[in-house]
Amino acid sequence: MNQPLSNPDMPVKQTGMAVLFCAVMKRDLMLAFRRRSDLLNPLIFFLMVASLFPLGISPEPTFLEQLAPGVVWVGALLATLLSMDSLFRSDFDDGTLEQTLLSPQPLFLVVLAKVIAHWAMTGLPLTLMAPLLGLMLFLPTEGMGGLMLSLLIGTPTLSLIGAIGAALTVGLRKGGVLISLLVLPLYIPVLIFGAGAVQAAVTGLPLGGYLALLGAMLALGIALAPLAIAAALRISVSG
């Protein structure tokens, strides 16, 4: 029992940033895989939303073909949004979020790792599933590459922005609808350029510009969103 206590002047064991990053990601992925049903819900939702459009508007292929880029993107956006609320909620409820905030480790990294893990379980599967929806909505095959690429670069930004909303509302019992109100307006640029990229791919125009803009937004999101998420988490826990 007589272990020496650490002295603040003494250099303290520093866990490497990469180790920390991996530990957080590993934990979140593990948590998700132990509750597999939660993992599937956004994907099922994505599929359902996309199938509502032919039912609600028209099953006419020429018509759906034009709608497809926007519908798939809106579906992916809503599915991401739907999954956001759970990002910090269980951590908040069981007290592990408090412990995270009291860690001497940089919160920026912890938060970024959590968001990336979240994206790997929602944005990435949505991207992989998108061609299926493209088929259902008669998206021309030329558009598939653009669809997947734009979702691949665009969905991480959606996760980052959505996490800000999740962090702001985690202390509230009725977070769900509120998150949408906060986050949807911020999703508009990603939607515009994402759907634009697919449209360009369909019509055979170069994609580079769109993807570059989506990439720029992602870079900005990685640099700034974790700061806002960290601040929002401290505020929510403090409340």
Partner 1 sequence: MSEPLLEVRQLLCERDDRVLFENLDFSLNVGEVLQIEGTNGSGKTTLLRILCGLTSHYEGDIFWHGELRTQAREAFNRSLLYFGHQPGVKAVLTPLENLHWYSAMHPSMDASRVLWALEQVGLRGYEDVPCHMLSAGQNRRVSLARLYMNDAILWILDEPFTAIDKQGVAQQEALIAQHAINGGAVILTTHHELTMPGPLRRLNLDQVRETL
Partner 2 sequence: MAENKKWLPRWFYQMASPRWCYEFCGRLLPWFVVAAVLLLGAGTAWALAWAPADYQQGNSFRIIYIHVPAAILAQSCYMLMAVAGAIGLIWKMKVADMVAKSCAPIGATIAVLALATGAIWGKPTWGAWWVWDARLTSMLVLLFLYLGVIALHSAMESENTAAQATSVLALVGLVNIPIIKYSVEWWNTLHQPATFTLTEKPAMPMEMWLPLLVMVIGFYCFFSVSLMLRVRNEILHRERRAGWVRTLLEKA
Query: Does residue number 102 form part of the binding site for partner 1 (CB under 8 A)?
Result: yes
Q: Does 17 bind partner 1 (CB under 8 A)?
A: no
List the x/- string, 153-182, binding to partner 2 by CB under 8 A: --------x--x---xx-xx-x---x--xx
| Nearest Cα residue to 229 out of 163, 169, 147, 184 | 163
- CA-nearest of 166, 21, 33, 38 to 92 is 166
Residue 89 Cβ, how far from partner 2 at the closest point, in Å? 15
Q: Which is nearer to partner 1, 41 or 105 (CB)?
A: 105
Tell me the closest approach of the beta carbon of residue 223 to partner 1, in angstroms: 21
Burial 102-126 (b: 16+ CB within 10 A, else e): eeeeebebbbbbbbbbbbbbbbbbb
Q: CA–CA separation, 217 vs 237, rounded Å?
A: 28
By CB under 8 A, is residue 55 in contact with partner 1?
no
- Considering only 84, 111, 164, 237, the residue that binds partner 1 (CB under 8 A) is 237
Contacts of residue 92, Cβ cutoff 8 Å, sequence gap at least 6: 170, 171, 236, 237
Number of H helices, E strands in the chain: 10, 0
Q: How far is the CB of 87 from partner 1 (least distance, A)?
A: 14
Query: Which residue ranges make up the site for partner 2 (CB under 8 A)?
Result: 161, 164, 168-169, 171-172, 174, 178, 181-182, 184-186, 188-189, 192-193, 196, 217, 220, 224, 228, 231-232, 235-236, 238-239
